[in-house]
Amino acid sequence: MQPETNSVPAVETADLKRIYKVGSMEVAALRGIDLCIPAGGFVALKGRSGSGKTTLLNCVGGLDRPTSGTVRIFGEEIARMSDRQRTRWRSRHIGFIFQSFGLLPTLSAYENVELMLRISGARIRERKERAVYCLNLVGLTKWMHHRPYELSGGQQQRVAIARALANKPRLMLADEPTGELDSTTAREVLTLFRHVIEHEHVTILMSSHDQLVDEYVDRVVSLRDGQVIS
């Protein structure tokens, strides 16, 4: 890892607020979040449904715009970017993982991963090498040419993790990645996240409402009604 990567936090938010306008009503999803996550960390956002986990992940990843406050990712303030810059920055530096995997059903595991590299403009040889490498890292070498419906939920989430890693992101954001998995499979995925942090030097910020994750992460940040309570 680069020395400067170590000193700059992966994620830093200051007084982050997100207020949704629904008709004449205002819903304060985030009410001033101050968060600092060091590079290489594995952090869980916990809280009940509606506490603001998804909104926070989306603001951190540049999928949603905060109403006020700042988000810095490795020292860069993402609100300062234009939409186009932000989209490019996101595909280069952030890997997203979702609860329901979000794989393209007609493509094989390999093709799902390779597509990300195609979109980012990698050359054919690099695409092939990186896709094979990522699928191997998540333990799916043997299943590489299978389609999502031929894979278990845990295997599908592994494909999604390989896909999120394809472009060598520095930060992975995972929204309830174990939400649809049984506890044994959830443990396997959490162990895999640790493995990925070691081998790919990423930082992982994950949301969950599962007690199980506490054993695996470096830190738990608890949210209630859009505020950090721990």
- Would you say 45 and 210 are in contact if contact means Cβ atoms under 8 Å apart? no
Tokens coding 176: 């309830």
Residue 48 or 92: the one with the smaller Cβ distance to ligand ADP is 48
Q: Which does 41 bind (CB under 5 to 8 A by kind): ligand ADP, Mg ion, none?
A: none
Closer to ligand ADP by CB, 53 or 147: give it: 53
Sole residue written with tokens 């916990």: 46
53 binds ligand ADP (CB under 6 A): yes
Taking the complex as a whole, the smallest distance from the CB of residue 62 to ligand ADP amounts, in Å, to 16
Exactly one of 51, 99, 112, 157 binds ligand ADP (CB under 6 A); which one?
A: 51
Are 45 and 221 in contact by the 8 Å Cβ rule? The answer is yes
Which strands, in side-by-side order, build the sheet including 76-77? 25-37, 11-22, 68-73, 76-77
Closer residue to ligand ADP (CB): 49 or 211: 49
What's the maximum distance between 2 C-alpha atoms anywhere in the chain? Answer: 54
Strands 42-46 and 219-224: parallel
Q: Which of 67, 135, 127 is nearest to 103 (CA)?
A: 135
Q: Does 119 bind ligand ADP (CB under 6 A)?
A: no
Nearest-angstrom CA–CA distance, 133 and 166: 9
- Part in contact with ligand ADP (CB under 6 A); list of ranges 47-55, 85-93, 148-156, 188-196: 47-55
Q: What is the secondary structure of 57-69 as a DSSP string?
A: HHHHTTSS--SEE
Interface residue list for Mg ion (CB under 5 A): 53-54
Of 177, 176, 184, give the one whose Cα is nearest residue 156: 177
177's tokens:
């990645």
Q: Minimum distance from CB of 147 to ligand ADP (Å)?
A: 29
22 touching ligand ADP, by CB under 6 A: yes
Contact 133, 167 (CB under 8 A): no
**Residue 29, binding choice from ligand ADP, Mg ion, none, Cβ under 5 to 8 Å by partner class:** ligand ADP
Please identify, using beta-carbon distances, which residue of 9 and 47 lies nearer to ligand ADP. Answer: 47
If binding means CB under 6 A, how many residues of this protein chain bind ligand ADP?
12
**Spatial CA neighbour of 93 closest among 8, 195, 211:** 8
Please choose, out of 45-53, 100-108, 154-162, 179-187, the segment that lies near ligand ADP by the rule CB under 6 A: 45-53
Member of 2, 3, 24, 49 binding ligand ADP (CB under 6 A): 49
Residue 112 binds ligand ADP (CB under 6 A): no
Verify binding: residue 71, ligand ADP, rule CB under 6 A.
no
Q: Which residues contact ligand ADP (rule: CB under 6 A)?
A: 20, 22, 27, 29, 47, 49-55
